[in-house]
């Protein structure tokens, strides 16, 4: 029978009170994020040693790592010339003898009594004609070989550590925590799920993931915890969608859409087949009872903005307002200018709303939104500040969606109708990861670039070739094109030898690019300063723009054809892909130089070679996920995003799909999780998981 979840669950107790911890070691554990017993038993191993295969000593050759069972024959403690203590323990079995050697650990002498049985693991070598193992892992046996072994003689866990905590210490502490709590660990998954997926109970799974009886039992425990991780995340997403977005009617945007048709006819180009497909999905969604809630992914330059504007024409044509929210003021300004040009002649009123506007200008736009005299507003977080009210918002388009959570989306609506939503990103997210974290949204992919868009050639350059790159950039500048120089820092740091944007800007002016107009752009500048620099660059008044990653989102300069990235090993692949999309936008192609840092290592170089070889954003995103983890896909860890311990949404996509189906089935049959068989789920979710994730803006 399943244990019900109790408010005084022993897993919630402080880890300081586990045997072997105490106040001083707790300070060390805190560095690893361990504060409770649950944190401790959830500190899963990063690897395992197989020390379960016992060999006769006589069969172990020099250089071999092996585990053996022996009897203590003799103990000798001596002091070397420089005061170093050397403890030698001779142990043997019927096939041979080996000397175990310990340096500067004289206190161990008391442990090794003649006749004591020992199981030890280490690398065999010969010293003065005798077999020897230096500093072996070992266990002293008081009786028969049994399950009390934790350091050898079995599958042994290897943990992530911090200074002051050894593997032996961590193993003992976690073993103590398991012994204290194993029998009282509450279940949190439905009995039907445990049975259908052959999962061990939660208590048994904790034991097996730390001290598995076999590789098969370890596999079952790991799979159970992977499922558990994503299962409760999916419950959170669906619960939040019901609470925040549910129960409110959607505007009726069903066809026909004459304003949309007029907009499409006015475009100076034809939509690609991929754009047509995604627009068709959007038109279908607005007629559904649940309305439109769609994540639109598309590479840089694939035409997402046009699709967003087209969708907004559907809402405006039906008498509703539309809004586009973006993460930066520069991007908002550029969208305002670009979309205003798109809509010339269509009698659509467009306004801009950003934080740096004067109070008077903001007040004017606020009033126009309330009255309904504005059809379309483009802005930043200023669109969801207190005091903002729409006359009747029908559809909201959110660009670079990973920066906005579901609660922020909900603020775009009013107390009546719930607007339809489209969220867009140029950062490719593997489908399984999108469903893991943004599962409340349907997914569309614009997987085709407009005709004429040419790929950007990418070249990896050693630091000593910098002068050659600068000469090639000067040739490009002489031909009338423009260049970005990207740096990961704004100014020099005592802790880093990376070139900084400000230092490079000053040097370029005085030396390498002194004949060309140069600009500087970074995140600490005011909006007015940024806007002025970007406008000068767009007008061709600046030939070289020295910048930081502020250009990652939104800086659109069609004439820019070269990007020089300094220390590219400091960036994620998906972030580099975004940055590379800033050049070659006119259709004549471009070049991206990746100038390696002085101390770049082989892993970074291999990763960058993949980047240079492909412009497939999804392939790069999956590699980023593999190397950096799901929280690092965008080059920074999302605020509130859960740090997965075990599951990889790409390689474990089958578990993601299973969890999504199971949570759907659970909530359809028991929306409030009130049935007795689901009480273990609801208790854990409400008492532990949901409060822990209260600050997360997920979905």
pLDDT above 90 as % of the chain: 46
Supply the pLDDT for residue 77. Answer: 94
Structure-block tokens of residue 616: 């497939």
Supply the pLDDT for residue 423. Answer: 87
Distance, in Å, from the CA atom of 58 to the CA atom of 483, rounded to the nearest integer, reads 69
Residue 428 has pLDDT above 80, yes or no: no
Distance, in Å, from the CA atom of 644 to the CA atom of 393, rounded to the nearest integer, reads 36
Residue 134 has pLDDT above 90, yes or no: yes
The two counts, helices (H) then strands (E), for the chain are: 22, 22
Residue 492 vs residue 246, higher pLDDT: 246
Distance, in Å, from the CA atom of 21 to the CA atom of 24, rounded to the nearest integer, reads 7
Supply the pLDDT for residue 633. Answer: 42
DSSP assigned state of 110: G
Task: Tell me what the mean pLDDT of segment 488-513 comes to.
Answer: 72
The sheet that has 96-103: what strands, in order across it?
125-127, 130-134, 96-103, 85-93, 65-79, 117-123, 137-141
Distance, in Å, from the CA atom of 4 to the CA atom of 616, rounded to the nearest integer, reads 48
Please name the residues in contact with 671: beta carbons below 8 A apart, sequence gap of 6 or more.
242
Supply the pLDDT for residue 552. Answer: 55
Q: What is the pLDDT of residues 596-650, one digit of tens each?
A: 877 655 555 778 888 898 887 777 877 776 666 554 443 333 434 445 788 877 7
Task: Tell me what the mean pLDDT of segment 515-522 comes to.
Answer: 91
Structure-block tokens of residue 691: 């409060």
3-state SS assignment for residue 111: helix
Inter-helix orientation angle 22-30/167-181, to 10°: 110
Q: Ramachandran region of residue 115, left (φ > 0), alpha (ψ -120 to 50) or beta?
A: left
Task: Tell me what the mean pLDDT of segment 35-45 comes to.
Answer: 93
Supply the pLDDT for residue 132. Answer: 96
- b vs e for 622-649, b when ≥16 Cβ sit within 10 Å of the residue's Cβ? bbbbeebebebbbbeebeebbebebbbb
Residue 212 has pLDDT above 80, yes or no: yes
Structure-block tokens of residue 564: 């020089």
Supply the pLDDT for residue 393. Answer: 93
Ordered by start, the domain boundaries in the chain are 53-153, 258-446, 456-632
Supply the pLDDT for residue 438. Answer: 64
Closest to 596 in 3D by CA, of 485, 498, 481: 498
Supply the pLDDT for residue 632. Answer: 45
Task: Tell me what the mean pLDDT of segment 659-663 comes to.
Answer: 90
pLDDT bin (cut points 50, 70, 90) of residue 699 is: very low
CA angle 673, 676, 681 (to 5 degrees): 50
> In whole numbers, what is the pLDDT of the chain averaged over residues?
84
β partners of residue 423: 295, 398
- The upper half-sphere exposure of residue 698, i.e. CA atoms within 13 Å in the direction of its Cβ, equals 28
Supply the pLDDT for residue 553. Answer: 57
Strands 130-134 and 125-127: antiparallel
Instruction: Give, in order, the Cα–Cα distances in Å from 263 to each of 83, 242, 268, 507.
Output: 87, 35, 10, 48
Closest to 283 in 3D by CA, of 144, 422, 154: 422
Supply the pLDDT for residue 372. Answer: 93
Residue 154 has pLDDT above 70, yes or no: yes
Supply the pLDDT for residue 275. Answer: 95
Supply the pLDDT for residue 554. Answer: 57
For residue 195, with 0-12 CB atoms within 10 Å meaning exposed, 13-18 middle and 19 or more buried, which class applies? exposed
Q: What is the pLDDT of residues 575-603, one digit of tens each?
A: 788 888 888 766 667 899 999 877 655 55
Structure-block tokens of residue 614: 């492909």
What fold characterizes domain 53-153? OB fold (Dihydrolipoamide Acetyltransferase, E2P) (2.40.50)
DSSP states of 644-690: -SS--TTTTHHHHHHHHHHHHHHHHH-TT--SGGGHHHHHHIIIIIH
Identical fold for domains 53-153 and 456-632, yes or no, is no
Residue 11 has pLDDT above 50, yes or no: yes
Supply the pLDDT for residue 399. Answer: 83
Residue 412 vs residue 578, higher pLDDT: 578
Contact between 474 and 513 under an 8 Å Cβ cutoff? The reply is yes
Q: What is the pLDDT of residues 239-250, one digit of tens each?
A: 777 766 666 788
What fold characterizes domain 456-632? Rossmann fold (3.40.50)
Residue 124 vs residue 496, higher pLDDT: 124
Residue 269 has pLDDT above 80, yes or no: yes
For residue 559, with 0-12 CB atoms within 10 Å meaning exposed, 13-18 middle and 19 or more buried, which class applies? middle
Specify whether domain 258-446 bears CATH 3.40.50.300. yes
Tokens 């975004």 found at: 578
Distance, in Å, from the CA atom of 262 to the CA atom of 123, rounded to the nearest integer, reads 77
Which of 135-149, 251-265, 300-314 is least confident?
135-149
Distance, in Å, from the CA atom of 447 to the CA atom of 672, rounded to the nearest integer, reads 39
Residue 322 has pLDDT above 90, yes or no: yes
Please name the residues in contact with 629: beta carbons below 8 A apart, sequence gap of 6 or more.
643, 644
Closest to 398 in 3D by CA, of 325, 498, 473, 323: 325
pLDDT above 70 as % of the chain: 84
Residue 387 has pLDDT above 70, yes or no: yes
What pTM, to 2 d.p., does this model score?
0.67
Q: Is the dihedral of CA 385, 390, 394, 399 positive or negative?
A: negative
Q: What is the pLDDT of residues 329-368, one digit of tens each?
A: 888 888 999 999 999 989 999 999 998 899 999 999 999 9
Distance, in Å, from the CA atom of 443 to the CA atom of 324, rounded to the nearest integer, reads 19
CA end-to-end span of the chain, whole Å?
35
DSSP states of 522-546: -TTS-HHHHHHHHHHHHTTS-SEEE
Task: Tell me what the mean pLDDT of segment 2-8 comes to.
Answer: 52
- Cα 455 from chain centroid (whole Å): 27
Supply the pLDDT for residue 587. Answer: 60
């Amino acid at each position: 029978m399943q244990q019900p979840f109790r408010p005084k669950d022993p897993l919630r107790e402080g880890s300081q009170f586990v045997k072997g911890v105490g106040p001083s070691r707790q300070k060390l554990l805190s560095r690893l994020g361990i504060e409770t017993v649950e944190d401790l038993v959830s500190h899963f191993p990063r690897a395992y040693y197989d020390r379960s295969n016992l060999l006769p000593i006589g069969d172990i050759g020099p250089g071999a790592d092996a585990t053996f069972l022996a009897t203590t024959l003799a103990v000798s403690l001596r002091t070397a010339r420089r005061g170093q203590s050397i403890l030698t323990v001779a142990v043997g079995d019927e096939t041979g003898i080996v000397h175990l050697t310990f340096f500067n650990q004289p206190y161990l002498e008391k442990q090794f009594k003649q006749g004591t049985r020992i199981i030890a693991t280490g690398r065999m070598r010969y010293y003065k004609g005798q077999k020897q193992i230096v500093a072996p892992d070992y266990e002293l046996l008081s009786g028969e070989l049994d399950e009390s072994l934790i350091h050898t003689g079995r599958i042994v866990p290897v943990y992530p550590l911090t200074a002051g905590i050894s593997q032996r210490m961590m193993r003992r502490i976690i073993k103590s925590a398991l012994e204290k709590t194993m029998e009282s660990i509450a279940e949190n998954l439905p009995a039907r799920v445990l049975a259908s997926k052959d999962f061990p109970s939660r208590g048994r799974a904790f034991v097996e993931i730390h001290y598995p009886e076999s590789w098969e039992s370890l596999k079952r425990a790991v799979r159970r915890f992977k499922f558990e991780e994503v299962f409760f995340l999916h419950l959170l997403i669906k619960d939040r969608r019901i609470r925040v977005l549910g129960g409110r009617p959607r505007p009726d945007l069903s066809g026909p859409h004459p304003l949309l048709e007029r907009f499409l006819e006015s475009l100076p180009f034809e939509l690609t087949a991929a754009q047509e497909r995604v627009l068709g999905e959007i038109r279908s969604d607005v007629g559904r009872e649940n309305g439109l809630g769609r994540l639109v992914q598309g590479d840089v330059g694939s035409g997402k903005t046009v699709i967003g504007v087209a969708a907004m024409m559907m809402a405006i044509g039906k008498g509703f307002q539309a809004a586009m929210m973006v993460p930066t003021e520069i991007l908002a300004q550029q969208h305002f200018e670009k979309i205003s040009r798109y809509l010339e002649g269509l009698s659509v009123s467009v306004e801009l709303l950003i934080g740096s506007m004067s109070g008077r200008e903001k007040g004017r736009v606020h009033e126009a939104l309330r009255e309904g005299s504005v059809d379309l507003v483009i802005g930043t977080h200023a669109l969801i500040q207190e005091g903002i009210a729409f006359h009747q918002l029908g559809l909201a388009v959110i660009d670079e969606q990973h920066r906005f959570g579901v609660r922020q989306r909900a603020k775009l609506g009013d107390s009546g109708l719930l607007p339809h939503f489209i969220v867009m990103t140029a950062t490719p997210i593997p489908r399984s990861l999108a469903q893991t974290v943004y599962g409340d949204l349907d997914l569309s992919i614009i997987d085709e670039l407009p005709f004429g868009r040419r790929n950007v050639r990418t070249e990896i350059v050693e630091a000593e070739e910098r002068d050659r790159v600068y000469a090639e950039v000067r040739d490009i500048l002489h031909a009338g094109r423009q260049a970005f120089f990207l740096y990961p820092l704004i100014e020099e740091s005592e802790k880093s030898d990376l070139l900084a944007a400000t230092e490079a800007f000053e040097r370029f002016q005085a030396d390498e690019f002194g004949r060309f107009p140069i600009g500087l752009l970074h995140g600490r500048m005011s909006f007015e300063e940024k806007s002025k620099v970007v406008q000068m660059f767009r007008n061709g008044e600046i030939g070289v723009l020295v910048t930081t990653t502020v250009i990652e989102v939104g800086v659109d300069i069609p004439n820019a054809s070269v990007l020089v990235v300094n220390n590219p090993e400091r960036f994620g692949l998906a972030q580099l892909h975004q940055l590379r999309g800033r050049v070659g936008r006119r259709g004549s192609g471009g070049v991206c130089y990746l100038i390696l840092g002085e101390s770049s290592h082989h892993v970074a170089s291999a990763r960058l070679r993949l980047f240079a070889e492909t412009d497939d954003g999804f392939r790069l995103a999956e590699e980023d996920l593999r190397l950096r983890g799901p929280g690092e896909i965008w080059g920074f860890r999302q605020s509130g995003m859960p740090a997965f311990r075990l599951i990889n949404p790409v390689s474990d996509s089958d578990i993601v799909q299973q969890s999504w189906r199971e949570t759907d089935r659970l909530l359809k049959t028991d929306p409030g999780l009130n049935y007795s068989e689901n009480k273990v789920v609801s208790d854990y979710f409400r008492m532990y998981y949901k409060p822990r994730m209260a600050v997360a803006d997920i979905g």
